[in-house]
Amino acid sequence: MQNIKVAVDAVVFGYTSKEGLSVLLIKRNIKPFKDSWALPGGLVGDNESLEEAVQRELKEETGVNINYLEQLYSFGKPDRDPRNRVISITYYGLVKPDAFELYADTDAADVAWFKIKKLPQLAFDHKEILIAAHERLKNKMLYQPVGFELLEEKFPFSELEKLYMAVLDRPIDRRNFKKKVVKFGFLEETAEKQALDGAGRPGNLFRFNEQKYFQLQKEGINFEV
């Protein structure tokens, strides 16, 4: 006879030009792993879908409301939760952290953004989940234009480069990168100039062509960086 519970967990990545890539974590206020940091999540209710459950848990534990999270993977090792057998269906997304006001509730004592390279020790198998989500996000950025919603409406090209380097966690060939992005046609150069703090020649600002952008998102592209 089976005695398996189903849970959902959310890996919410945040990005800002200043802070780079971060992830949203909660501090647990119940056992097991009391006072440890973890991904927001919890058990699925009898009468809710997986998507409803992950959005509810995220809202309850962090105050964050995200319309769309992409399903990542199922984690189901028998000993991943010391209380009982729990299979977790995981989701991930990428957002602007300053678009949300955080507050901890239900079984979360605290909630905070952590830089991806300065993470605390995580409860359960949540480090494994986070690594899998980061890999998926990296791969996705290579076949879909991702993350333009994290930039201002008009932005210097260097901001797009910074976004890609932060998520991919490596340098990129800047000249090749620009050539490839421009070729796809989802970027438009404007006549407006970048405001510079110091010396140097200001470059033009760019904006993305939404129609072309969403068409390419739908079709998928081979975007080797």
Contact 12, 58 (CB under 8 A): yes
CA dihedral 203, 208, 212, 216 (to 10 degrees): 90
How much is the average pLDDT of 151-159? Answer: 91
Q: Which of 6-15, 101-110, 139-148 has maximum average pLDDT?
A: 6-15
In sequence order, what are the residues at sequence separation of 6 or more whose Cβ sits closer than 8 angstroms to the Cβ of residue 110? 26, 27, 104
Q: Is the pTM here over 0.95, yes or no?
A: no
pLDDT digits (tens, 9 = 90+) for 22-38: 999 999 999 999 999 99
Question: Cis before residue 145, ω within 30 degrees of 0?
Answer: no
Residue 197 confidence (pLDDT):
61
The pLDDT assigned to 10 comes to: 98
Question: Which carries the bigger pLDDT value, residue 85 or residue 146?
Answer: 85
73: pLDDT strictly greater than 70: yes
pLDDT of residue 101: 94
User: What is the band of 159 on the pLDDT scale with cuts at 50, 70, 90?
Assistant: very high
Residues written for the chain: 225
Confidence of residue 4 (pLDDT cuts 50, 70, 90): very high
The tens digit of pLDDT for each residue in 172-210 reads 999 899 888 888 888 899 999 887 665 567 788 999 888
Average pLDDT over the chain reads: 91
Comparing 17 with 200, the larger pLDDT belongs to 17
- Residue 132 scores a pLDDT above 70: yes
Domains detected in the chain: 4-125 (3.90.79.10), 143-219 (1.10.10.10)
Between 56 and 214, name the one with better pLDDT. 56
Cross-strand partners of 85: 4
pLDDT at 165 over 60: yes
Question: Distance between CA 169 and CA 118 in Å, rounded?
Answer: 14
80: nearest Cα among 131, 6, 26:
6
Q: What is the pLDDT of residue 196?
A: 66
- Stretch 39-56: mean pLDDT: 97
Question: 14: pLDDT confidence band, cut at 50, 70 and 90?
Answer: very high
Residue 214 is predicted with a pLDDT of 80
